[in-house]
Structure 1
Amino acid sequence: MELLNIKDLDLENKKVFIRCDFNVPMDEHSNISDDRRIRSAIATINYCLDQKCAVILASHLGRPKGEVVEKFSLAPVARRLNHLLKRDVVIAKDVVGEDAIAKAKALKSGEVLLLENLRYEPGETNNDEELSKKLASMAEYYVNDAFGVSHRAHSSVEGITKFFDNKHKAAGFLLSKEIQFFGKIIENPVRPFAAIVGGSKVSGKLEALVNLLPKVDKIFIGGGMAFTFLKQLGYDIGASLVEDDLLGEAQKIMDEAKKLGVKFYLPVDVIAAEKFEADSVIKIVTAQEIPHEWMGLDIGPATVRLYREGLNDVQTVLWNGPMGVYEMDRFARGSSKIANFVADSYATTVVGGGDTADLVQRVGLGEEMTFISTGGGASLELLEGKVLPGVAQLIKE
């Protein structure tokens, strides 16, 4: 899949609208706790500024649901951009209101304007054509560099592209890199190719698992989703998270893996607790014998050893979803140990955004991975074999 290239655009002395993904985590005092998504957009922004462009940046933050909510203001993002770009970043008071339109109109080459939170506008998530038209009217060129929301058919992602022809729109460097990386490892990986798939539910990963099976050599299952497979095998899983309506689908996946010769790994032991609390009593039990009222919240040490052994010869690793409830230290050990092993391997390692990216950053291994995606949901839809709405309009014909 070849995308329209930003370097093919005649940007000099023009206005360019860049859709970014500045949906960053903040603490209770509105301090940005992880600016990776902002830093990831700097290359595209700087490239446009080097072409003597006037740059209009747009992003959402959180889910204000079409209302102006102060805690979701992009003001902290503007301050961080000031620091990273080493130039003033003006923030508009609204999205397509009088202030934003006036500031966009007055913007000169080399200046940067950040619109307020796109989701302050109820039409953004509804892909409202009128909103798309107003956003498009601000600039002569459109660049999508927001991989993390490119699976959403929103006004600033999909709708806006219809107001620019192929000579006036393109993918930014980050979006191009994400699509290129996932395309390469899914279509032409160096083998053996392993997928580590975790997270809480099978339902969220079902299509991805089905699509990955013909492509991988090994699959390692962890997190809450493992218990649906374990229950289908007849194991006692206690009070662990399970999706009873997907037991049949779990069996189909295991049958298909066997048919294709894909090694399918499931936990052999788990860290179980009486309740999901930091001070709960915990113990290591086999995956077949989780006590009646107890729940499995992490993979156990034997599973860590088994998975490490299975990953020893792997040349490409795709990881999407943690191995346990990593947000609580007592149940983060399995994920942490797998992260350290993957980081130390010589394999090409691709982390599929969301919780897995957060986990890898928490344990200080972000720099050790080959590539960390900025989008959890978007990367998952790519793994499902879908063409993302925000990407479809940017494919070179």
Structure 2
Amino acid sequence: MPYRTLDGLDVRGRRVLLRADLNVPLRDGRITDLTRLERLSPTIGELAGNGARVIVLSHFDRPKGQLVATMSLRPVAEALGAVLHRKVAFVDDCIGPEVARAIAALNDGEVLVLENTRFYPGEEANDAAHAARLAAHGEIYVNDAFSAAHRAHASTEGIARILPAYAGRLMQAELVALTAALGNPARPVGAIVGGAKVSTKLDLLTNLIARVDLLVIGGAMANTFLAAQGAELGKSLQEAALHDTARAIMNAAAGHGCDILLPADFVVSETFAPNPSTRIVPADAVPANTMALDVGPATTDAIITAVKGLKTLIWNGPLGAFETPPFDTATLRVANAIAAATKSGLISVAGGGDTVAALRQAGITDRLSYVSTAGGAFLEWMEGKVLPGVAVLATDSA
């Protein structure tokens, strides 16, 4: 959908409410990953550089409408200042007279972070009165938190119905990448979907089989599809209650002209532990005392060959238990093959927590066309769902 961006927007001297995602991983009071802050910096830099008075809104963790001291954004605001190489002020609330005074004291080009929006129950309830109190802080609203756009909260959707609303540069980049992957992709287009359970990705699979030419299914969820066809899976994780569903998905895929690539071989072991004794077996004949923990070399080769024939690829979920060696082998081999194909012109878009972790492990995060850190929002977009925080930015919205 067409949506409003920062292009041509005059922000000098104006109060800009910027919805960011400062929900970074924190351990023992220290931030362990600055990626979200780094990805936010271009939008803040552009707004502040053009003379805006930037007021940053964000949630942090799940305080459930209560003030929880350990979920304060204060340390995150300090880290944001270090990432931006500029002073970032902080105020211990997101509404009220103290906030109003801090905003009134802002000069052009300065940045202020407000306290955790979820300290108020009106945030997650998308309460109109609470949204209005937040909106009163600004003249323009910019949403740069695609990762929170699947939630209709006061700071992600409510404010955008009150103030002129625009997509920030990170939001814009996500939308461009995802539109290229699923909206109007260069064909043939393929998807790799992994993970443990079919039950958590039913909507995703149902949407993808109608949109892609090739669907690669890996991870433990592939076991359910194989078992539904009569394969012996030994002690491997699978969902027996979803065999009918798996068969229905395969039949529907055939009706849409979508080829499904399932594992032809597995790496199996009697125990799930780092570097155990393993062997390679056919995917339909896993010994009774073993479990499948990674796809095998023949399957990996088949996936790599298939990737080379694609023009667009979407990836969500590892192919095996990649956190535990040697069951990271297939995921890392395929990751490197995707990076090489991207260099040759493949449009590659990946997302999801485990996928991003696997790409980092492979050292190729910056070699794909786009890697989304949006988590749930990325998954819901792939499922074909309307994201409220995006829909409200559309040029034809109120």
TM-score normalised by the chain length of structure 2: 0.92
User: Which amino acid in the other structure matches residue 365 of structure 1?
Assistant: I
Q: Which whole-Å CA distance do the structure 1 matches of 2:280 and 2:113 have between them?
A: 51
Aligned to 2:134: 135
Whether the 8 Å contact between 1:105 and 1:138 is mirrored in structure 2 is no
Q: Which whole-Å CA distance do the structure 1 matches of 2:251 and 2:173 have between them?
A: 35
Q: How far does the alpha carbon of each residue in 1:207-261 deviate from its partner, in whole angstroms, 9 at most, with x for none?
A: 2222222322211111121111111111122333323332222111111222333
Per the TM alignment, residue 339 of structure 1 is displaced from its structure 2 partner at its CA by 0.6
User: Which amino acid in the other structure matches residue 130 of structure 2?
Assistant: L
Per the TM alignment, residue 282 of structure 1 is displaced from its structure 2 partner at its CA by 4.0
Q: Matched residues, percent identical?
A: 40
237-246 or 134-143, which moves further after superposition?
Answer: 237-246
Aligned to 1:2: 2
Q: Which whole-Å CA distance do the structure 2 matches of 1:106 and 1:40 have between them?
A: 27
Q: How far does the alpha carbon of each residue in 1:147-203 deviate from its partner, in whole angstroms, 9 at most, with x for none?
A: 111011112111221222xxx211111112211221122232222211111122222
Q: Which whole-Å CA distance do the structure 2 matches of 1:281 and 1:65 have between them?
A: 46
Q: Which whole-Å CA distance do the structure 2 matches of 1:298 and 1:64 have between them?
A: 38
Per the TM alignment, residue 4 of structure 1 is displaced from its structure 2 partner at its CA by 1.2
Whether the 8 Å contact between 2:180 and 2:186 is mirrored in structure 1 is no
Could you say if the C-alpha distance between residues 110 and 204 of structure 1 is closer, same or farther in structure 2, counting changes exceeding 3 Å? same
Per the TM alignment, residue 98 of structure 1 is displaced from its structure 2 partner at its CA by 4.8
Q: Which whole-Å CA distance do the structure 1 matches of 2:262 and 2:78 have between them?
A: 46
Aligned to 1:210: 206
For structure 2, which runs of at least 5 residues remain unmatched after alignment? none
Q: Which whole-Å CA distance do the structure 1 matches of 2:107 and 2:242 have between them?
A: 56
Q: Which whole-Å CA distance do the structure 1 matches of 2:93 and 2:220 have between them?
A: 41
Aligned to 2:72: 73
Q: Does 1:245 align with 2:244?
A: no
Aligned to 1:111: 110
Aligned to 1:156: 155
Whether the 8 Å contact between 1:151 and 1:390 is mirrored in structure 2 is yes
The partner residue of 1:171 within 160, 167, 171 is 167
Could you say if the C-alpha distance between residues 124 and 284 of structure 1 is closer, same or farther in structure 2, counting changes exceeding 3 Å? farther
Q: Does 1:265 align with 2:261?
A: yes
* Helix, strand or coil at the partner of 2:89: strand
Q: How does 1:167-206 map to 2 (within 5 A)?
A: 168-206=164-202
Q: Which whole-Å CA distance do the structure 1 matches of 2:169 and 2:331 have between them?
A: 30
331-340 or 200-209, which moves further after superposition?
Answer: 200-209
Q: Which whole-Å CA distance do the structure 1 matches of 2:57 and 2:327 have between them?
A: 37
Q: Which whole-Å CA distance do the structure 2 matches of 1:96 and 1:326 have between them?
A: 44
The partner residue of 1:326 within 322, 326, 329 is 322
Q: Does 1:342 align with 2:341?
A: no
Per the TM alignment, residue 264 of structure 1 is displaced from its structure 2 partner at its CA by 0.9
Q: How does 1:7-156 map to 2 (within 5 A)?
A: 7-26=7-26, 28-156=27-155
TM-score normalised by the chain length of structure 1: 0.92
219-228 or 321-330, which moves further after superposition?
Answer: 321-330
Whether the 8 Å contact between 1:142 and 1:169 is mirrored in structure 2 is yes
Could you say if the C-alpha distance between residues 66 and 269 of structure 1 is closer, same or farther in structure 2, counting changes exceeding 3 Å? farther
Q: How far does the alpha carbon of each residue in 1:86-131 deviate from its partner, in whole angstroms, 9 at most, with x for none?
A: 2111122233255434323332222111122222333322222232
For structure 1, which runs of at least 5 residues remain unmatched after alignment? none
Could you say if the C-alpha distance between residues 97 and 289 of structure 1 is closer, same or farther in structure 2, counting changes exceeding 3 Å? farther
* Helix, strand or coil at the partner of 2:54: strand
Per the TM alignment, residue 293 of structure 1 is displaced from its structure 2 partner at its CA by 4.9
247-256 or 96-105, which moves further after superposition?
Answer: 96-105
Whether the 8 Å contact between 1:147 and 1:374 is mirrored in structure 2 is no
Q: Which whole-Å CA distance do the structure 1 matches of 2:75 and 2:361 have between them?
A: 22
Could you say if the C-alpha distance between residues 7 and 155 of structure 1 is closer, same or farther in structure 2, counting changes exceeding 3 Å? same
Whether the 8 Å contact between 1:354 and 1:377 is mirrored in structure 2 is no
Q: Which whole-Å CA distance do the structure 1 matches of 2:63 and 2:286 have between them?
A: 41
User: Which amino acid in the other structure matches residue 17 of structure 1?
Assistant: L
Q: How far does the alpha carbon of each residue in 1:255-289 deviate from its partner, in whole angstroms, 9 at most, with x for none?
A: 12223332211112223344444365544332222
RMSD: 2.0
Could you say if the C-alpha distance between residues 320 and 109 of structure 1 is closer, same or farther in structure 2, counting changes exceeding 3 Å? same
Q: Does 1:364 align with 2:360?
A: no
